[in-house]
Amino acid sequence: MTLFERFQKKDPVALSKFITYVENQSKDYEKFLSRIYPMTGKAYRIGMTGPPGSGKSTLTDKLAQKLSSQDRTVGIIAVDPTSPFTGGALLGDRIRMQALSSVKDVFIRSMASRGSKGGLAKTTKEVILVLDAFGKDYIIIETVGVGQVDLDVVDNCDTTLVVFTPESGDAIQAMKAGLMEIADIFVVNKADREGASNLIYELDSFLDLKRKKDNSFGKCWEYPVISVQATHNIGIDLLWKKIEEHKKFIQDNGIFEKKRKAQIKSEIKKLIENRIKEITEEKVKESFDIENIVEEVLAGKDDPYSASERFLREAKLI
Ligand SMILES: Nc1nc2c(ncn2[C@@H]2O[C@H](COP(=O)(O)OP(=O)(O)OP(=O)(O)O)[C@@H](O)[C@H]2O)c(=O)[nH]1
Ligand SMILES: [Mg+2]
Protein backbone atom coordinates (compact mmCIF):
# COMPACT_ATOMS: atom_id res chain seq x y z
CA MET A 1 0.00 0.00 0.00
CA THR A 2 1.32 3.48 -0.80
CA LEU A 3 1.66 6.11 1.89
CA PHE A 4 -1.22 8.01 0.32
CA GLU A 5 -3.47 4.96 0.44
CA ARG A 6 -2.57 4.52 4.08
CA PHE A 7 -3.45 8.17 4.64
CA GLN A 8 -6.83 7.58 3.02
CA LYS A 9 -7.35 4.53 5.24
CA LYS A 10 -6.78 6.83 8.25
CA ASP A 11 -3.43 5.49 9.34
CA PRO A 12 -2.05 7.98 11.92
CA VAL A 13 1.55 7.14 10.96
CA ALA A 14 0.85 8.22 7.38
CA LEU A 15 -0.81 11.38 8.71
CA SER A 16 2.23 12.18 10.79
CA LYS A 17 4.56 11.63 7.83
CA PHE A 18 2.55 13.88 5.53
CA ILE A 19 2.44 16.61 8.17
CA THR A 20 6.25 16.53 8.44
CA TYR A 21 6.48 16.60 4.64
CA VAL A 22 4.29 19.70 4.46
CA GLU A 23 5.95 21.32 7.47
CA ASN A 24 9.38 20.97 5.88
CA GLN A 25 7.99 22.20 2.56
CA SER A 26 9.71 19.26 0.93
CA LYS A 27 9.79 18.72 -2.81
CA ASP A 28 6.38 18.92 -4.50
CA TYR A 29 4.51 19.50 -1.27
CA GLU A 30 2.24 21.95 -3.11
CA LYS A 31 1.24 19.15 -5.48
CA PHE A 32 0.32 17.02 -2.47
CA LEU A 33 -1.78 19.87 -1.04
CA SER A 34 -3.52 20.33 -4.33
CA ARG A 35 -4.26 16.60 -4.45
CA ILE A 36 -5.82 16.52 -0.98
CA TYR A 37 -7.63 19.85 -1.33
CA PRO A 38 -10.89 18.28 -2.61
CA MET A 39 -10.93 16.18 0.56
CA THR A 40 -10.93 19.26 2.82
CA GLY A 41 -13.60 21.64 4.05
CA LYS A 42 -15.35 19.45 6.57
CA ALA A 43 -13.33 20.07 9.74
CA TYR A 44 -14.38 22.75 12.19
CA ARG A 45 -11.47 24.87 13.44
CA ILE A 46 -11.25 26.09 17.00
CA GLY A 47 -8.55 28.59 17.97
CA MET A 48 -7.34 28.56 21.56
CA THR A 49 -5.26 31.55 22.51
CA GLY A 50 -4.26 33.49 25.61
CA PRO A 51 -1.30 34.41 27.80
CA PRO A 52 1.38 31.83 28.68
CA GLY A 53 0.34 29.40 31.39
CA SER A 54 -3.34 30.36 31.35
CA GLY A 55 -4.35 26.73 30.86
CA LYS A 56 -4.79 26.45 27.10
CA SER A 57 -3.26 22.98 26.86
CA THR A 58 -5.22 21.68 29.85
CA LEU A 59 -8.42 23.05 28.37
CA THR A 60 -7.64 21.72 24.88
CA ASP A 61 -7.11 18.26 26.36
CA LYS A 62 -10.41 18.36 28.25
CA LEU A 63 -12.30 19.45 25.15
CA ALA A 64 -10.58 16.75 23.10
CA GLN A 65 -11.54 14.11 25.67
CA LYS A 66 -15.13 15.31 25.62
CA LEU A 67 -15.31 15.20 21.83
CA SER A 68 -13.66 11.84 21.69
CA SER A 69 -16.19 10.41 24.13
CA GLN A 70 -18.86 11.54 21.65
CA ASP A 71 -17.08 9.65 18.86
CA ARG A 72 -15.84 12.78 17.18
CA THR A 73 -12.28 12.88 15.92
CA VAL A 74 -9.89 15.64 16.93
CA GLY A 75 -6.60 17.04 15.68
CA ILE A 76 -4.60 19.34 17.92
CA ILE A 77 -1.92 21.73 16.67
CA ALA A 78 0.11 23.34 19.44
CA VAL A 79 2.05 26.29 18.08
CA ASP A 80 4.92 26.64 20.48
CA PRO A 81 6.56 30.05 20.70
CA THR A 82 9.71 28.76 22.36
CA SER A 83 12.85 27.91 20.47
CA PRO A 84 13.30 24.22 19.68
CA PHE A 85 16.59 24.40 21.57
CA THR A 86 15.17 25.17 25.01
CA GLY A 87 13.27 21.91 25.12
CA GLY A 88 11.12 22.80 28.12
CA ALA A 89 7.83 23.03 26.34
CA LEU A 90 8.59 19.97 24.27
CA LEU A 91 8.94 17.94 27.43
CA GLY A 92 5.56 19.26 28.54
CA ASP A 93 4.06 18.16 25.27
CA ARG A 94 5.51 14.69 25.56
CA ILE A 95 3.76 14.29 28.90
CA ARG A 96 0.57 15.54 27.31
CA MET A 97 0.81 13.13 24.46
CA GLN A 98 1.13 10.27 26.90
CA ALA A 99 -1.99 11.45 28.72
CA LEU A 100 -3.97 11.74 25.51
CA SER A 101 -2.57 8.69 23.76
CA SER A 102 -5.17 6.52 25.45
CA VAL A 103 -7.92 8.76 24.09
CA LYS A 104 -9.35 7.50 20.85
CA ASP A 105 -8.79 9.42 17.61
CA VAL A 106 -6.96 12.39 19.06
CA PHE A 107 -3.86 13.45 17.16
CA ILE A 108 -1.46 16.06 18.59
CA ARG A 109 1.23 17.91 16.75
CA SER A 110 3.53 20.63 18.11
CA MET A 111 4.98 23.22 15.81
CA ALA A 112 7.66 25.73 16.74
CA SER A 113 6.71 29.22 15.66
CA ARG A 114 10.29 30.47 15.71
CA GLY A 115 12.27 27.47 14.68
CA SER A 116 15.72 27.23 13.20
CA LYS A 117 14.14 27.21 9.78
CA GLY A 118 12.65 30.62 10.38
CA GLY A 119 9.03 30.36 11.35
CA LEU A 120 7.71 26.84 10.97
CA ALA A 121 4.31 28.11 11.95
CA LYS A 122 4.15 29.57 8.48
CA THR A 123 2.85 26.17 7.44
CA THR A 124 0.21 25.90 10.16
CA LYS A 125 -2.54 26.60 7.63
CA GLU A 126 -1.27 23.77 5.46
CA VAL A 127 -1.12 21.38 8.41
CA ILE A 128 -4.74 22.28 9.13
CA LEU A 129 -5.57 21.19 5.57
CA VAL A 130 -3.79 17.87 6.04
CA LEU A 131 -5.73 17.13 9.24
CA ASP A 132 -8.95 18.19 7.54
CA ALA A 133 -8.33 15.94 4.54
CA PHE A 134 -7.50 13.07 6.88
CA GLY A 135 -11.05 13.40 8.20
CA LYS A 136 -10.70 15.05 11.59
CA ASP A 137 -14.06 16.50 12.66
CA TYR A 138 -12.51 19.18 14.85
CA ILE A 139 -9.12 20.86 14.78
CA ILE A 140 -7.98 22.78 17.84
CA ILE A 141 -5.12 25.21 17.30
CA GLU A 142 -3.37 26.36 20.45
CA THR A 143 -1.22 29.50 20.29
CA VAL A 144 0.09 32.08 22.72
CA GLY A 145 -1.65 35.08 21.26
CA VAL A 146 1.21 37.50 21.12
CA GLY A 147 2.96 37.60 17.78
CA GLN A 148 1.60 38.34 14.35
CA VAL A 149 2.05 34.69 13.35
CA ASP A 150 -0.30 33.68 16.16
CA LEU A 151 -2.87 36.24 15.13
CA ASP A 152 -2.65 34.99 11.54
CA VAL A 153 -3.27 31.46 12.73
CA VAL A 154 -6.29 32.56 14.70
CA ASP A 155 -7.53 34.32 11.57
CA ASN A 156 -7.93 30.90 10.07
CA CYS A 157 -10.21 29.57 12.78
CA ASP A 158 -13.98 29.39 12.84
CA THR A 159 -14.44 29.90 16.57
CA THR A 160 -11.72 31.55 18.64
CA LEU A 161 -11.42 31.22 22.39
CA VAL A 162 -9.24 33.41 24.53
CA VAL A 163 -8.23 32.02 27.90
CA PHE A 164 -7.54 34.29 30.88
CA THR A 165 -6.71 33.63 34.49
CA PRO A 166 -7.47 35.75 37.54
CA GLU A 167 -3.80 36.72 37.77
CA SER A 168 -3.62 40.47 37.47
CA GLY A 169 -2.83 42.16 34.22
CA ASP A 170 -3.92 39.38 31.89
CA ALA A 171 -6.97 41.13 30.57
CA ILE A 172 -5.22 44.44 30.12
CA GLN A 173 -2.35 42.83 28.26
CA ALA A 174 -4.80 40.98 26.08
CA MET A 175 -6.54 44.18 25.16
CA LYS A 176 -3.20 45.62 24.13
CA ALA A 177 -2.34 42.53 22.08
CA GLY A 178 -5.64 42.81 20.23
CA LEU A 179 -7.01 39.52 21.60
CA MET A 180 -10.29 41.13 22.58
CA GLU A 181 -10.94 41.92 18.94
CA ILE A 182 -10.43 38.43 17.59
CA ALA A 183 -12.07 36.25 20.25
CA ASP A 184 -15.61 34.91 20.04
CA ILE A 185 -15.69 33.25 23.46
CA PHE A 186 -13.91 34.43 26.60
CA VAL A 187 -12.78 31.88 29.14
CA VAL A 188 -11.82 32.73 32.69
CA ASN A 189 -9.83 29.66 33.68
CA LYS A 190 -8.47 28.82 37.16
CA ALA A 191 -11.75 30.07 38.55
CA ASP A 192 -10.76 28.26 41.75
CA ARG A 193 -8.36 31.12 42.36
CA GLU A 194 -9.08 34.43 43.97
CA GLY A 195 -10.09 37.29 41.71
CA ALA A 196 -12.03 35.24 39.16
CA SER A 197 -15.35 36.98 39.71
CA ASN A 198 -13.70 40.39 39.47
CA LEU A 199 -12.14 39.44 36.16
CA ILE A 200 -15.44 38.13 34.83
CA TYR A 201 -17.06 41.43 35.80
CA GLU A 202 -14.24 43.41 34.19
CA LEU A 203 -14.44 41.44 30.95
CA ASP A 204 -18.22 41.64 30.88
CA SER A 205 -18.25 45.40 31.18
CA PHE A 206 -15.64 45.74 28.46
CA LEU A 207 -17.57 43.36 26.21
CA ASP A 208 -20.85 45.21 26.72
CA LEU A 209 -19.49 47.96 24.49
CA LYS A 210 -18.52 45.43 21.84
CA ARG A 211 -21.90 43.69 22.07
CA LYS A 212 -23.74 46.98 21.54
CA LYS A 213 -21.52 47.94 18.64
CA ASP A 214 -22.03 44.61 16.91
CA ASN A 215 -25.77 44.82 17.41
CA SER A 216 -25.93 48.01 15.43
CA PHE A 217 -24.75 46.00 12.42
CA GLY A 218 -27.57 43.52 12.79
CA LYS A 219 -25.40 40.76 14.21
CA CYS A 220 -26.00 39.71 17.76
CA TRP A 221 -23.43 37.25 18.99
CA GLU A 222 -23.35 37.43 22.77
CA TYR A 223 -19.56 37.17 23.31
CA PRO A 224 -19.97 35.00 26.40
CA VAL A 225 -17.58 34.97 29.35
CA ILE A 226 -17.33 31.46 30.78
CA SER A 227 -15.93 30.54 34.16
CA VAL A 228 -13.88 27.34 33.98
CA GLN A 229 -11.64 25.15 36.13
CA ALA A 230 -9.88 23.11 33.49
CA THR A 231 -7.93 20.89 35.87
CA HIS A 232 -11.15 19.97 37.72
CA ASN A 233 -13.22 19.56 34.56
CA ILE A 234 -15.63 22.26 35.74
CA GLY A 235 -17.32 24.48 33.15
CA ILE A 236 -16.22 22.37 30.17
CA ASP A 237 -19.78 21.33 29.26
CA LEU A 238 -21.00 24.92 29.24
CA LEU A 239 -17.97 25.98 27.22
CA TRP A 240 -18.66 23.26 24.68
CA LYS A 241 -22.30 24.36 24.47
CA LYS A 242 -21.17 27.92 23.68
CA ILE A 243 -18.77 26.70 20.98
CA GLU A 244 -21.64 24.84 19.33
CA GLU A 245 -23.89 27.88 19.61
CA HIS A 246 -21.23 30.02 17.98
CA LYS A 247 -20.81 27.47 15.22
CA LYS A 248 -24.54 27.57 14.55
CA PHE A 249 -24.56 31.37 14.75
CA ILE A 250 -21.85 31.85 12.14
CA GLN A 251 -23.34 29.19 9.87
CA ASP A 252 -26.88 30.59 10.06
CA ASN A 253 -25.76 34.15 9.43
CA GLY A 254 -23.52 33.51 6.45
CA ILE A 255 -20.43 34.48 8.47
CA PHE A 256 -18.88 31.04 8.10
CA GLU A 257 -19.07 31.22 4.32
CA LYS A 258 -17.80 34.79 4.26
CA LYS A 259 -14.83 33.84 6.43
CA ARG A 260 -13.95 30.86 4.25
CA LYS A 261 -14.16 32.98 1.11
CA ALA A 262 -11.85 35.59 2.66
CA GLN A 263 -9.41 32.86 3.68
CA ILE A 264 -9.35 31.36 0.18
CA LYS A 265 -8.89 34.78 -1.37
CA SER A 266 -5.96 35.70 0.86
CA GLU A 267 -4.44 32.24 0.34
CA ILE A 268 -4.50 32.57 -3.44
CA LYS A 269 -3.03 36.08 -3.23
CA LYS A 270 -0.33 34.90 -0.84
CA LEU A 271 0.66 32.00 -3.09
CA ILE A 272 0.89 34.28 -6.11
CA GLU A 273 2.91 36.86 -4.17
CA ASN A 274 5.32 34.24 -2.86
CA ARG A 275 5.83 32.79 -6.30
CA ILE A 276 6.40 36.21 -7.87
CA LYS A 277 8.93 36.98 -5.16
CA GLU A 278 10.77 33.73 -5.83
CA ILE A 279 10.78 34.32 -9.59
CA THR A 280 11.96 37.89 -9.15
CA GLU A 281 14.78 36.85 -6.86
CA GLU A 282 15.91 34.21 -9.34
CA LYS A 283 15.84 36.68 -12.22
CA VAL A 284 17.72 39.34 -10.26
CA LYS A 285 20.39 36.79 -9.48
CA GLU A 286 20.79 35.56 -13.03
CA SER A 287 20.37 38.70 -15.13
CA PHE A 288 20.63 41.84 -13.09
CA ASP A 289 23.94 43.22 -12.02
CA ILE A 290 22.59 45.03 -9.01
CA GLU A 291 26.00 45.88 -7.51
CA ASN A 292 27.00 47.66 -10.68
CA ILE A 293 23.69 49.54 -10.83
CA VAL A 294 24.16 50.68 -7.22
CA GLU A 295 27.50 52.19 -8.29
CA GLU A 296 25.84 53.86 -11.27
CA VAL A 297 23.10 55.32 -9.08
CA LEU A 298 25.68 56.57 -6.58
CA ALA A 299 27.63 58.16 -9.41
CA GLY A 300 24.49 59.92 -10.55
CA LYS A 301 24.29 58.02 -13.86
CA ASP A 302 21.15 56.06 -13.01
CA ASP A 303 18.31 56.13 -10.51
CA PRO A 304 16.50 53.34 -8.61
CA TYR A 305 13.14 54.02 -10.32
CA SER A 306 14.38 53.70 -13.87
CA ALA A 307 16.65 50.77 -12.95
CA SER A 308 13.82 48.72 -11.44
CA GLU A 309 11.49 49.48 -14.36
CA ARG A 310 14.20 48.49 -16.82
CA PHE A 311 14.78 45.24 -14.94
CA LEU A 312 11.10 44.31 -14.93
CA ARG A 313 10.75 45.06 -18.63
CA GLU A 314 13.90 43.17 -19.61
CA ALA A 315 12.85 40.17 -17.51
CA LYS A 316 9.42 40.33 -19.21
CA LEU A 317 7.68 40.63 -15.87
CA ILE A 318 5.76 43.68 -17.09
N1 LIG B 1 -5.52 26.07 39.88
C2 LIG B 1 -5.71 25.76 38.61
N3 LIG B 1 -4.64 25.47 37.83
C4 LIG B 1 -4.86 25.18 36.54
C5 LIG B 1 -6.17 25.16 35.96
N6 LIG B 1 -6.06 24.85 34.66
C7 LIG B 1 -4.73 24.69 34.41
N8 LIG B 1 -4.01 24.87 35.53
C9 LIG B 1 -2.55 24.74 35.70
O10 LIG B 1 -1.90 25.83 35.05
C11 LIG B 1 -0.64 25.41 34.55
C12 LIG B 1 -0.50 25.81 33.10
O13 LIG B 1 -1.42 25.08 32.33
P14 LIG B 1 -1.25 24.79 30.79
O15 LIG B 1 -2.46 24.08 30.33
O16 LIG B 1 0.07 24.19 30.50
O17 LIG B 1 -1.24 26.30 30.25
P18 LIG B 1 -0.94 26.82 28.78
O19 LIG B 1 -1.76 28.04 28.59
O20 LIG B 1 -1.10 25.75 27.80
O21 LIG B 1 0.59 27.21 28.90
P22 LIG B 1 1.61 27.56 27.70
O23 LIG B 1 1.36 26.60 26.58
O24 LIG B 1 2.96 27.41 28.33
O25 LIG B 1 1.31 28.98 27.34
C26 LIG B 1 -0.54 23.90 34.76
O27 LIG B 1 0.23 23.66 35.90
C28 LIG B 1 -1.98 23.50 34.99
O29 LIG B 1 -2.11 22.36 35.79
C30 LIG B 1 -7.28 25.44 36.83
O31 LIG B 1 -8.44 25.45 36.44
N32 LIG B 1 -6.98 25.74 38.12
MG1 LIG C 1 0.26 25.00 26.29
pLDDT tens digits, one per residue of 215-268: 655 668 899 999 999 999 999 999 999 999 999 999 999 999 999 999 899 889
Probe residue for ligand 1, chosen from 93, 153, 231 as the CB with the greatest number of ligand atoms within 8 Å: 231
The protein residue whose alpha carbon is closest to atom 32 in ligand 1 is 190
**Spacing, Cα 257 to ligand 2 middle (Å):** 30
Lowest mean pLDDT across 41-45, 49-53, 170-174: 170-174
Closest ligand (CA of 76)? 2
Alpha carbon distance 103, 84 (integer Å) = 27
Which numbered atom of ligand 1 lies nearest the CA of 189?
31
Alpha carbon distance 20, 14 (integer Å) = 10
The angle subtended at Cα 252 by Cα 250 and Cα 253, nearest 5°, is 65
Mean pLDDT, range 62-67, rounded to an integer: 94
Question: Which range has the top average pLDDT, 42-51, 210-219, 233-242?
Answer: 233-242
**Spacing, Cα 142 to ligand 2 middle (Å):** 7
Most distant CA pair in the chain, distance = 73
Which numbered atom of ligand 1 lies nearest the CA of 50?
19
What is the H or E stretch that residue 91 is in?
helix 88-101
What single letter denotes the amino acid at residue 304? P
For residue 73, pLDDT beyond 80: yes
The protein residue whose alpha carbon is closest to atom 9 in ligand 1 is 55
Alpha carbon distance 46, 14 (integer Å) = 24
Lowest mean pLDDT across 9-23, 26-40, 199-213: 199-213
Report yes or no: 78 and 110 within 8 Å, Cβ to Cβ. yes
**Contacts from 215-223 at CB under 8 Å and sequence distance 24+?**
219/253, 219/255, 221/184, 221/246, 221/249, 223/183, 223/184, 223/185, 223/186
Evaluate if pTM is beyond 0.75: yes
Closest ligand (CA of 194)? 1
Please return the burial class of 138, using the count of CB atoms within 10 Å of its CB with bins 0-12, 13-18 and 19+.
buried
Alpha carbon distance 151, 162 (integer Å) = 12
| The pLDDT of residue 120 | 41
Mean pLDDT, range 166-174, rounded to an integer: 67
Report yes or no: 89 and 97 within 8 Å, Cβ to Cβ. no
Pocket of ligand 1 (CB under 6 A): 52-58, 144, 189-190, 192-193, 229-231
Q: What sign results for the dihedral spanned by CA atoms 207, 256, 77, 237? A: positive
CB atoms within 10 A of CB 165: 21
| The pLDDT of residue 119 | 39
Mean pLDDT, range 52-76, rounded to an integer: 92
**Spacing, Cα 58 to ligand 1 middle (Å):** 6
Mean pLDDT, range 197-204, rounded to an integer: 90
Mean pLDDT, range 7-29, rounded to an integer: 94
Lowest mean pLDDT across 83-87, 113-117, 153-157, 167-171: 83-87
Which numbered atom of ligand 1 lies nearest the CA of 230?
31
Mean pLDDT, range 74-101, rounded to an integer: 63
| The pLDDT of residue 316 | 86
- SS3 helix, strand, coil % of the chain, rounded to 5? 60, 15, 30
Structural domains of the chain, with CATH: 3-253 (3.40.50.300), 270-314 (no CATH)
Phi and psi torsions of 229, nearest 5°: -125, 90
Alpha carbon distance 77, 66 (integer Å) = 17
